[in-house]
Chains A and B, each alone.
Chain A
């Protein structure tokens, strides 16, 4: 932490993230304060300019833009973070296994990783997003709630977002597994699963954290693109991405609707990238300045 402070862009990113998180968390409070919630339609003020009642104005059906942005921020941040954790879990599992076991398993897993990296992800995600889960003979009630919709996005993006973590964890595992304490554990008869979990995992935590931080930005970009295309977070639940697709239709009459959600996506992704870059320089000083 202290050394991170020597990296101004990372500090800036961290501060911005805290600010965004606090603002999003305060959405409920702001609703109580203003006396209406993010879904309330102010029929007397549609596409209104900023006023005392609506600090950033209202959207095309009269919902308060600021409150929708905060609620959307909750969703976008939560989906981004949870998906990043899912992806980090998958990536760590794959990277550890490939790095420690080596041989044909390593070759297979790494070809898989290369394959996923090289694919045109968004078109694939669109097909995944359009899949009707009830066709898999699963009970339909499972997929009705808003939460189920969010879980679905987390799963879809998590399935393709693990590659960075897998590669970095594998690389770190390769250097850790030849060290003496791992050899000692092997000599004592510990099985591969135990060695990976107890001896190697704690030593690959820092690349894991760096890769996860860097992938949050990418995941938020993917989520917003999917939501923008109508296959991510479904309205009326707001997310920054789906607010932009509504704004696309109002582009000529009220461009301000498009400016705010995009600016927030941009700032959030930028912050995660700056913090990730700062962390990377901490664990691998060669990658940046001398």
Chain B
């Protein structure tokens, strides 16, 4: 088990390394390097100045050399300065990260709390009208563009009814826990709907698979009540595939987070990455993207761990 996890951890590190190089290369292809941006801002700079500055900042060095330099300082904890926020990148990441974790965790919890029971009910009523209806609801949820759902929620609840705030994390100039929670409701709702659709379909499929097994019939024949069979025998086994898929879904969830944060002007990682890419803030964009990738990979590692805990038969070599 430990060896398996160590192997997976190394694999994840390798993916991070490959990703960081790819992203570093791609960001180098975005319009304008930092010195060109500076030159565009101050018309008095001569081409000589530009060349000198390029040499000073190392922008004229070959890609591999620059990447190696970035990587070695990143490894020692120095991620550089953010152009847009005039802070160190580490400082600029702190708040957005905690905001995003709050948003992701809440919407994940809401989606799962709704999807698990609904998925189980649909599986138990498989092929009946209720199942068809619930399936259609799930498909509708999957097919909704997250950003549009966000827009509609804002129009309905913030503009029309004026019940909830339309954007941000808290009212300017303070606001306690209740205020923060009120700001979370709409973005969480927008994110949770799409996730609910996916999770409900996973849960339903896994539950149908589990209920079809022979040991379900055995458990019934032993005289256990239907509820016991469903909850103790079928559900526990159905959870195994669901947990794996869930962890692989963290990347998808993060994509949803990015658009949701943009629509709701919610200062999290997604909006930060978007703003950094759009504003040519290379250091910040790079660090943000790597953090998002790390978050996703951590999710799949967690799945491996849970997989082993949920299914005692699995003992990795």
**Are A127 and B27 also in contact (CB < 8 A) when A258-B155, A266-B148, A273-B139 are?**
yes
**Which residues from chain A contact B288 at a C-beta distance below 8 Å?**
123
A contact residues around B147 at 8 Å (CB): 224-225, 228, 244
Interface: A47 (CB within 8 A): no
Within 8 A of B (CB), among A221-263: 221, 224-225, 228-230, 241, 244, 247-248, 251-252, 255, 258-259, 261-262
Shortest beta-carbon distance, B206 to chain A, in Å? 12
Please pick, from A117, A221, A247, the residue contacting B145 in the complex, using a CB distance under 8 A.
A221
Stretch at the interface among B85-93, B169-177, B248-256: B248-256
Contact yes or no, A123 B289, CB < 8 A: yes
Q: Are B148 and A229 in contact (CB under 8 A)?
A: no
CB distance from A40 to the nearest CB of B (A): 26
B118 at the binding interface (Cβ < 8 Å):
no
In the complex, what residues of A have CB within 8 A of residue B278's CB? 130, 230
> Of A120, A127, A270, which contacts B140 at CB under 8 A?
A270
Chain B interface, DSSP helix/strand/loop, else mixed: helix
- The residue on B at minimum CB distance from A247 is B151
A225 & B293 in contact (Cβ 8 Å cutoff): no
Flag whether B97 is at the interface (Cβ < 8 A): no
B29 and A136 contact, CB distance less than 8 A? yes
User: Are A252 and B29 neighbours in the complex by a CB distance under 8 Å?
Assistant: no
CB-CB under 8 A from A132, the residues of chain B are 29-31
Does A59 have its Cβ within 8 Å of any Cβ on chain B?
Answer: no
A248, B145: Cα distance in complex, Å: 14
Residues A225 and B259 in contact, CB atoms below 8 Å apart: yes
Count A interface residues, CB 8 Å: 49
- Does B127 lie within 8 Å of A120, measured CB to CB? no
Q: A273 to B145, Cβ gap below 8 A?
A: no
Give bound CA distance, A127 to B297, whole Å.
19
Residue from B28, B140, B248 within 8 A of A117 (CB atoms): B248
B154/A127 in contact, CB under 8 A: no
Enumerate chain A residues within 8 angstroms of B152, measured Cβ to Cβ.
Answer: 258-259, 262
* Given A228-B147, A289-B127, CB of A128 within 8 Å of CB of B26: yes
Taking A122-B259, A123-B258 as contacts, is the C-beta distance between A255 and B145 under 8 angstroms?
no
Measured between beta carbons, the chain B residues less than 8 angstroms from A217 are: 142-143
Q: Are B148 and A265 in contact (CB under 8 A)?
A: yes
- In the assembly, what is the distance between CA of A117 and CA of B299, in Å? 13
Known A120-B255, A127-B289, A266-B144; judge A258-B151 contact (CB<8 A).
yes
CA A270 – CA B292 in complex, angstroms? 29
B30–A255 touching, CB < 8 Å:
no
Say yes or no: is A119 at the interface (Cβ < 8 Å to chain B): yes
Q: What chain A residues lie within 8 Å of B165 (beta carbons)?
A: none
Pick from B131, B154, B259, B292: contact of A228, CB below 8 A. B259
**Are B296's CB and A119's CB within 8 A?**
yes
State whether B151 touches A244 (Cβ < 8 A): yes
Complex Cα–Cα for A251 and B19 (A): 38
Given A115-B15, A118-B251, A121-B251, check contact A229 B143 (CB 8 Å).
no
Nearest B-chain residue to A133, judged by Cβ: B29
Residues of chain B within 8 A (CB-CB) of A277 are 139
B23 within 8 A of A: yes
Task: Answer yes or no: B159 CB below 8 A from chain A CBs.
Answer: yes
Known A247-B151, A248-B151, A258-B155; contact A127-B143, beta-carbon cutoff 8 A: no
Chain A residues within 8 Å of B289, by CB: 120, 123-124, 127
Given A118-B300, A289-B127, decide whether A258 and B139 contact each other with a Cβ distance below 8 A. no
Q: Of all chain A residues, which has the CB nearest B262?
A: A229
A274 at the interface (CB under 8 A from B): yes
> A2 an interface residue at 8 Å Cβ cutoff?
no
Quick one: given A120-B293, A123-B254, A130-B278, are A266 and B23 in contact (CB under 8 Å)?
no
1/0 per residue, CB under 8 A from A, across B134-158: the answer is 0110011011111111011011000
Does A51 have its Cβ within 8 Å of any Cβ on chain B? no
A258 contact set on B, CB distance < 8 A: 148, 151-152, 155
A290 at the interface (CB under 8 A from B): yes
Docked-complex contact A255 and B143, CB < 8 angstroms: no
Residues of B within 8 A of A (CB): 11, 15, 19, 23, 26-31, 126-127, 131-132, 135-136, 139-140, 142-149, 151-152, 154-155, 159-160, 205, 248, 250-252, 254-255, 258-259, 262-263, 270, 273-274, 277-278, 285, 288-289, 292-293, 295-297, 299-300
Top 8 nearest A-B pairs (CB, nearest first) are A262-B148, A122-B255, A270-B143, A120-B254, A289-B127, A269-B143, A132-B31, A131-B29
Additional 18 contacts, C-beta under 8 A, given A127-B277, A244-B145, A266-B145: A9-B136, A118-B296, A118-B297, A118-B299, A119-B251, A120-B254, A120-B255, A120-B293, A122-B254, A122-B258, A123-B289, A228-B147, A229-B274, A248-B151, A261-B148, A262-B145, A270-B139, A289-B131
